[in-house]
Amino acid sequence: MSDLLSYILTAEFGYSMLRVTTPILFAAMGSIVAESSGASNIALEGNMLFAALFGAIGSGLTGSVFWGLIIAIAGGLIISALLIYFGLYLKTDIILSGIALNTLASGGSIFLMYVILHDKGSTSSIKTLVCPNINLPGIENIPVLGDILSGHNILTYFAFLSVIFVWFLLYKTKLGMHIRCVGENAEAAASVGIKIKSVKLVSLLISGVLASLGGAFLSMGYMNGFSRGMVSGRGFIGLAAAAMGQLSPVPTLIASLIFGCADAMSNIMAAMRIPDEFVKLIPYVTTVVGLIVISSWRTWRVKKKRIAALVSAN
Amino acid sequence: MDEILRLENITKIYPNGVTANKDANLSVRKGEIHALVGENGAGKSTLMKIIFGMEQPTEGNIIYNGKQTQIKSPLDAIACGIGMVHQHFMLVESMTVAENIVLGAEPGKGPIPNNRAMIEQTKEIIEKYNFVINPKEKISDLPIGTRQKVEILKALYKGAQVLILDEPTAVLTPQETTELFRELRGLRDMGHTIIFISHKLNEIKEICDRITIMRNGTTVGVHDVGSVSQQEISNLMVGKDIDWNIEKNPPKRGEVILDVKNVSVLDEAQRSILKEVSFSLHAGTILGIVGVEGNGQSELVEAITGLHKADAGSIKFHGNDIADSSIKQIREMGLAHIPQDRMLRGAVVNGSIEDNMIATFIDKEEFSSGPVLKTKKIRSWSEKLIKDFMVKTDGPEVPVKMLSGGNIQKVIVAREFSSNADCIIADQPTRGIDVGAAKFIHRKLIEMRDNGVAIMLISADLSEIMDVSDSLLVMYGGRFVAYFPDASKVSEEELGQYMLGVKQQTSEEVKGCIA
Ligand SMILES: Nc1ncnc2c1ncn2[C@@H]1O[C@H](COP(=O)(O)OP(=O)(O)OP(=O)(O)O)[C@@H](O)[C@H]1O
Ligand SMILES: [Mg+2]
């Protein structure tokens, strides 16, 4: 136990926490954009899975990281396109369609891998390129902080920048205003001539791109190569983070970091020979506990304020 | 005067086969306030949505400024200079006044709105039309009357010359209505044309120049408002004479059913809205509660019905304290509630009429055995309610959202009135309901009171509350400021003075309402 503590207090742990937060954060930001327009993107998990696979194969085949990323995004958007087609055009329930697409992605990714590489387990037969790591000039030389913040994969920095991007998009652009309006009161949007379907479509696409970047990170950064089921619930944890952050970018960032921390901790524990079954539970237990803590804290705060006000009123 | 808008033989058949308009004709002159009246479901809102491009006519022509015009979407309508304020608010509550006003036509080039211009332009338009609103305030913080004004400004900002107002006064207090009328007259003087829908005929007499009457989807005539009486208008609407009289015997006052003691409620911002109010409600009586909206009436109703618990005080129903009971428990004890905000709380808008009528009795033995519903019983029962309460629809399986505004209201009233409750909290029960059906509801209330039901009636309509109630309480600033044991002995003027806080009874006099 004390081993664990002493490890958590190192710069190395901080570094690995940011690393594992990356895919969760992308997914969470993707969820915010979609959910704000009232079209839930439950298919984040599927977006990430396809993006991870396409990125792994794409970068290997083209020999270019850049094209690998583009292909990864295109792969992730296949799932978004299906979700848009089912949910917005055929008007099926968007949540159920999302769940179905996740199942499709999990089988589909293995199928595609087999068709292309004749392998059902991983893409190890092809050499995946990894996105470069970046040293932050100036910061890299600061003790401790430099070790935590510098030298990450470029996609990790993108993930944190995406928080600013999503905030700016939702609160500072016309499109963002329209997205929030459609999400909150679609009829009101229609009555001023905003096209509900187009707005939802655009938010689902943006959401898909963000989640795909998270997927690409998994196979072109976190690991080099795709293996079956490699997203393992990170899309859902991202959904939970967005819910905990009540669709606000900064609180969602904090929630994602908490989940990232749990994930990093489970990695250490796995290395310390704590039973695997238990370790794997940690991120999910954190999610549930996190949701409970946040909501009871909110109720408690309101109650406390009420009692105080009542006392002063009488 | 020139004609600005003409509808010729408009027929509208909704995709589900309902004919909402049949050969409707309308001619509106530039610069007039034109009233459109008709019973619930007569097709007024549908006709207006056609003008505003939200629905397409199945047949017929729209002539705007002398030219035949196709209006395919609200954008087309806005481009023509037509604006509409809908029967149900179309505002985004989390956004500011300015954002709502410019929404869909934000100033600024490119993808980023120019915030400074947004505030400036909103301020300009607010001043131009002599409204008093802070553009930076959030909609959720505004009272209903102000929200209504934001809706009007939204249309004006987009250059509306013709302004359609679909039952704008249904949710307003008399004071807010007076203010709205002052502003509407101002708009007319500036050359705007207004189409005004209302079920309150006195309002129409007060502010409109001409009136078009609709019946069963078609228009049955246009008149100068000065040349027809309210009686004549309502007879034309219904197609037969309406009985205006309400018979009322003296109440047979029974035991105390509901006993409210020192109840206080705080709002979100922790200000106290309800300040230690007490009263008793007796079986066989109708207690009217009047007050300008926002003086604590809604909070009182929410505390009693369990929607929002009181922060202090006791509420006894049949002698049992219900302060901590759930809404379901309170209902099961025999308390029925017609909520003020139907779209939010009363109705499951996506559910069918039948689902909505059964919603609160689903556990009763008549309608279910264990978890299984007795669908035949439910069907025949909802068919009977539809008939009794004159809900205009094709059948009980129609989704509530396809009903006209007033008919949604009737579905809720029918459910609550038939619940066999011995206490009914009726919060604005006739809001948005046509005169004929409103009279029916008034008679029903009195009939139930004669059968020993205790009724608490909250209404912004003074004539309704004075006609129906036995005794009256006036609320002002979260307290009761006056009690009249005999409602027939007060005048509207006197009530008005108490409602505005000009006069106040002694606390001894007010305490007359306890036990
Ligand atoms: N979206 C819809 N789909 C199907 N039928 C509809 C729809 N909207 C309205 N209707 C039907 O069309 C008829 C006319 O409705 P409309 O809303 O125009 O009435 P209204 O005159 O505005 O009534 P109210 O005074 O109650 O508001 C009603 O019978 C209603 O049930
Ligand atoms: Mg209507």
- List, for residues B54-75, the tens digit of each pLDDT value: 999 999 999 999 999 999 999 9
Q: Report the helix count and the strand count for chain A, using DSSP H and E.
A: 13, 2
Tokens of A89: 């055009």
Q: Check if B3-238 and B255-334+422-515 are the same fold.
A: yes
- What is the enclosing helix (H) or strand (E) of A99? helix A94-117
Specify whether the CB–CB gap between B198 and B169 falls below 8 A. Answer: yes
ipTM: 0.84
Alpha helices, H only, chain A: 2-8, 11-36, 44-62, 65-84, 94-117, 145-149, 154-172, 174-184, 186-191, 196-217, 234-244, 249-271, 276-313
Strand partners, B434: none
- List CB contacts (< 8 A) between A177 and chain B: 95, 99, 103, 106, 113
Contact between chains at B266 and A309 (C-beta distance less than 8 A): yes
B124-146: average pLDDT: 89
For the structural domain made of B255-334+422-515, what CATH number should be given? 3.40.50.300
Q: Domain-by-domain residue ranges, chain A? A: 2-231
Model pLDDT for residues A73-104, shown as the tens digit of each residue: 999 999 999 999 999 999 999 999 999 999 99
Which of A194, A305, A309 is the closest to B104 by Cβ? A194
- List CB contacts (< 8 A) between B138 and chain A: none
Q: Which atom, in ligand 1's list, is nearest to the CA of B49?
A: 18
Of residues A208, A248, A222, the one with CA closest to residue A21: A222
Closest C-alpha to ligand 1, atom 3:
B402
Looking only at the bridges linking them, the beta strands covering B286-290 and B335-338 are unpaired
Contact residues of B toward A, CB < 8 A: 52, 54, 73-75, 78, 84, 86, 88-95, 99, 103-106, 108, 111-113, 154, 158, 264, 266, 270-272, 275-276, 311-312
- List CB contacts (< 8 A) between A187 and chain B: 88, 90
Phi-psi category of B217—alpha, beta or left, where left has phi over 0 and alpha has psi -120 to 50? left
pLDDT at B92: 94
Fold exhibited by the domain B3-238: Rossmann fold (3.40.50)
Q: Which atom, in ligand 1's list, is nearest to the CA of B167?
A: 27
pLDDT at A292: 85
Which of B75, B111, B311 is the closest to A173 by Cβ? B111
- Which DSSP state fits B489? G
Q: Maximum distance among all alpha carbons in chain A?
A: 77
Mutate to test the interface with B, among A170, A191, A301, A306 (most CBs of B within 10 A): A191
pLDDT over 60 (residue A251): yes
Strand partners, B372: B369
pLDDT at B363: 67
Strand order in the sheet with B312-317: B272-282, B256-266, B312-317, B320-321
Q: Which atom, in ligand 1's list, is nearest to the CA of B404?
A: 17
Model pLDDT for residues B203-245, shown as the tens digit of each residue: 999 999 999 999 999 999 999 999 999 989 988 988 877 777 7
A303 touches B at CB < 8 Å: no
Q: Domain-by-domain residue ranges, chain B? A: 3-238, 255-334+422-515, 344-420
pLDDT at A152: 95
| Residue B420: count of CB within 10 angstroms of its CB | 10
- What is the enclosing helix (H) or strand (E) of A266? helix A249-271
Centre of ligand 2 to C-alpha A43, Å, is: 39
pLDDT at B344: 57
Centre of ligand 2 to C-alpha B56, Å, is: 17
Tokens of B110: 């490119």
Model pLDDT for residues A266-304, shown as the tens digit of each residue: 888 877 878 877 877 877 788 788 878 888 887 887 777
Closest approach of chain A CAs to the CA of B111, in angstroms? 6
Of residues B34, B81, B74, B191, the one with CA closest to residue B128: B191
B256-273: average pLDDT: 86
